[in-house]
Amino acid sequence: MSAAEALTAQLASLPPALRPAGDVYALMLDTAAKLTPTSGLLGAQQAATIYQMLTPAAGYGDLPPPTSVSFPADHRLHLDCGNEWYWISANLDAEGPQGPVRIGLLIDMLRIRVVSKAVQAQAGWSDADCQVVWNAVTAVVSSEAGSQIVRRTPNAQWAPVGGVVEFPEGGFVYRCGPDVMLGPPDVLPLEVIVADGDNIALQLSLTSGMPPASAFFLQGENGVTPPPVAGIYYSWPQVSVSGPMTIAGTTYQAAGTGWIDHQLLAKAIPATLPQPPVQIDGWNWCQFNFDNGEAFTAAAFQTNAIGADKLTPYGFYIRPLLGGWQAEPIIGGLALDGLTPMLDQVFQPTAWTYAAANFPGAFAPSPLDITIATAPWHPDGSFVTADLAVPSEVPVSVAMARRGVFGQAITGRGYCETVGFEPRGAYMRRAIAFLNGGPFG
């Protein structure tokens, strides 16, 4: 089958209860029918947007919900599941033409399966043929003179419309056209290449002082996230990041610390769609690498209405221990401030304050009662992904104070993430305009 035939067959396979309104469904079918082997970037973006518009009916993977993890096998891409990503952030220092600068880098390479196993069998495709991959990259350059954000030119790839993706066996390779992540089976040391001309060109090396086989910690429950978002999730904190880079025509040699996330989702497709549709389905997440070698991550969830003060029911305080990481579950609160319109008028927060304590009943070597204040390097971390979603990833400096402990605050750096803050109706209007031939983003 061609891309047009396969995506049409995928849409036709949806039971009526999971199809969008008739005119929207007809638009999707019309878009799919016009795909060609040379549709390239536009065709990949159209397929990704249709996938997102169908959420939660999308997610065509047939991988059963995982119950455990096994490494290094689970470092590879799981092409049977619906979507999966390797996410890298780095907070770096460099010397610029006018003096010292701080550089925040965000690299979000994400894979979605746009046809099911059943349609794949009809089409005679490989697993790689079924994947749309995109790589979204932002670079924030900050100095005493001011700051700016530079966004990578859109890079979305789908092999049946002329794109280049690669997930070979042996070692670790994750390719999205000219951008690629390369490493051994245990991932580290990892080389990351982004090739977007003088706009953003990166050649980064990521390493750890820990043995590669133990340089990460397991998120979720021993590396597995439970239903309704069943999957695998784990992270590498405190990785060393260095290398040459060109950002907006200026070349730097930079070094600092970073964080790697690997997550995959094996969501079950629902029998019916929620009525009325969920308008906000998002989260606020963070990762902080502290200067004392410890780390922190937490998540708050936003459903139907955005709250400025949210419980953070999930997170970990992470300490180095015996050549690996000890992750202590935490619970706490998040205060958001300064919601401002960013790309496509999606309101995103610009200030975050976290409070955290030990999760009740969980093991902890010592009582934890902390407050973490953040200072953004730039007021706008938003970007548009290939499916037209508008997340925000902001590099920040942080200071952690422990209640009842006198002394200087522990400082560090990291990233604050906002996802899913655009109301579903607003997203759908933008997506429909795009499929009707409007501009991307």
What is the domain partition of the chain in residue ranges?
A: 4-54, 61-435
**What's the burial of 407, exposed, middle or buried (CB within 10 Å: 0-12/13-18/19+)?**
exposed
Residue 334 near residue 312, CB atoms below 8 Å: yes
- Which residues of the chain, if any, have pLDDT below 50? none
- Superfamily holding 61-435: AttH-like domain (2.40.370.10)
- The pLDDT, as a whole number, for residue 400 is 97
- The pLDDT, as a whole number, for residue 439 is 77
pLDDT per residue as tens digits for the range 39-70: 999 999 999 999 999 988 887 777 777 899 99
- The pLDDT, as a whole number, for residue 3 is 98
Q: What's the CA gap between 107 and 370, in Å, rounded?
A: 29
Q: What's the CA gap between 415 and 297, in Å, rounded?
A: 10
Pick the closest to residue 393 from 258, 293, 265, 291 (CA basis). Answer: 258
- The pLDDT, as a whole number, for residue 147 is 97
pTM: 0.96
- The pLDDT, as a whole number, for residue 441 is 56
Residues contacting 391, CB < 8 A, separation 6+: 108, 382, 383, 385, 417, 418, 419, 420
How far apart, in Å, do the first and last CA atoms of the chain sit? 30
Residue 348 near residue 382, CB atoms below 8 Å: yes
Q: Is the previous residue joined to 313 through a cis bond, with omega within 30 degrees of 0?
A: no
